[in-house]
Structure formats: structure tokens, C-alpha cells
Amino acid sequence: NAGVTQTPKFRILKIGQSMTLQCTQDMNHNYMYWYRQDPGMGLKLIYYSVGAGITDKGEVPNGYNVSRSTTEDFPLRLELAAPSQTSVYFCASSDTGPGSNSPLHFGNGTRLTVT
Amino acid sequence: AQKVTQAQTEISVVEKEDVTLDCVYETRDTTYYLFWYKQPPSGELVFLIRRNSFDEQNEISGRYSWNFQKSTSSFNFTITASQVVDSAVYFCALSERSNFGNEKLTFGTGTRLTIIP
């Protein structure tokens, strides 16, 4: 049982490049989330999903896109990378949502630098 | 809008001292949930506790205890007899009503706790 797996762990992008951050979970969780953590700051929600085919914007969705074609995978797409997207990205999943007795399980993060 | 405030940016205490991390929240929801997460130097986020808005009982788990007071909108976290392994960034979080129910979490900016041996 691997939990939430994020790849890659580190990535450097040039301005204007695009990439996809991968996230997969093997716990059959319905709810999945993408957060970003800027230095000295808390986590800000980018996008989330409550099940396959259902996604919604979080607090800071601009510059990102997501899809949820399967329960296991929730990739985050960056188009036209900008320096402001330099951050650590965390993917998380939850069985029935944090409003129930089901905490978020986080991946180990992807450290992205855009130069 | 939902808001979580952790006014203490950094705290340093000597090992074996007790330390309290403050968390104040704002919400218009009548049903909500509060959480604490720990982020050790290795970077992962570890769930510590969840508390719902109808349960104001204090909770103790080993050296950790939590004090939830709706009257002051606070959910404070105390570590008793601190240890070096407690050094981490601690985040308080509040569940937020979304288009689908109550599935989003709003995080505070975190408190960096350093335990000095």
C-alpha cells in the first residue's frame, strides 16, 4: 500500500514550458486535491475532485488544469510556466472528505522551480 | 470567507518545556471541522487530529493536547514535555463548504516550532 505517490520529486522548468505533475493513490479514495506551498506560507488549494469526472477550482486555479479520468489518478497540468508557479506542490486524497472521519493523506510533494 | 490565523510564525523552546501553538479561525458555517497537521523537516504532511464543531471536549493523546473553544473561535495545540522530534512546522486547518459539500480545507500559514536540546 503506497498511499499517495507524486512524481517527479523535483523539476526545473523554463518560462513558457509546460508539464504535468502526476499523482496517484492506491487507497480507492474518492476525494483528491492539489495544494501549493510557497516558502513560509500555508497550503493553498489549486483544484480538487470528489470523484472520477468531477473537478472544481480551489483558491488559486489560474495557470493550472486538472483531469480525473480514473479514481486513482489526478494529474495537474501547468501550461506556459511562470516564475510565480515556483512552489512545492502537494497532492492529497481522502476517503469521504475531510468533513467526515477521514483525514487527508498527502504525497511527499513535488518541488518545482521556474526560471 | 473562511480564514485560519496562526499568529505565531516561529517558536523556540528548550527541550522538556511545554509549548502551546495558537489557532484562531473564522467561518460562517455552523458545521465545520478543524484539523492540525505536522510537517517535519523531511517535508511530508502528517495528520494529527480532527475535531468537529459540535464537540468541544478537549482531547489528549500522549504528550499532545488540544483545546477547542467555540466562544473564542480557537483550536489551540499544546505539547507537553517537548522533545527534539517535535521540531516541525504545524498547520491548523478548517474545512470549508464547497460546491459538493464540506470537502475543502483552508490552512493557516503555519507555526515553525524548534525544540532546543
DSSP calls for A64-92? EEE--SSSSB--EEE-S--GGG-EEEEEE
Most B CBs within 10 A among A49, A91, A104, hence the mutation to make, goes to A104
Query: Given pLDDT bands bounded at 50, 70 and 90, which one contains residue A3?
Result: very high
pLDDT one digit per residue (tens) for chain B, 117 residues: 789 999 999 999 999 999 999 999 999 888 888 999 999 998 889 989 888 888 888 888 899 999 999 999 999 999 999 999 999 999 999 987 666 665 678 899 999 999 999
In this predicted structure, what is the pLDDT of residue B56?
A: 83
Res. A74: pLDDT tops 90:
yes
Of A58, A103, A109, the CB nearest to B104: A58
Is the Cβ–Cβ distance between A32 and A107 less than 8 Å?
no
B43 interfaces chain A, CB cutoff of 8 Å: yes
Q: How many CA atoms lie within 13 A of B85 on its CB side?
A: 2
Query: pLDDT by residue (tens digit) across A17-66?
Result: 999 999 999 999 989 999 999 987 889 999 999 899 999 998 899 999 99
CB B23, CB B108: distance < 8 Å: yes
| Residue numbers of B between 47 and 66 with CB closer than 8 Å to A | 47, 50
Please give the backbone phi and psi of residue B16, each rounded to the nearest 5 degrees, phi first: 85, -10
Shortest distance between the Cα of A103 and any Cα of chain B, in A, equals 7
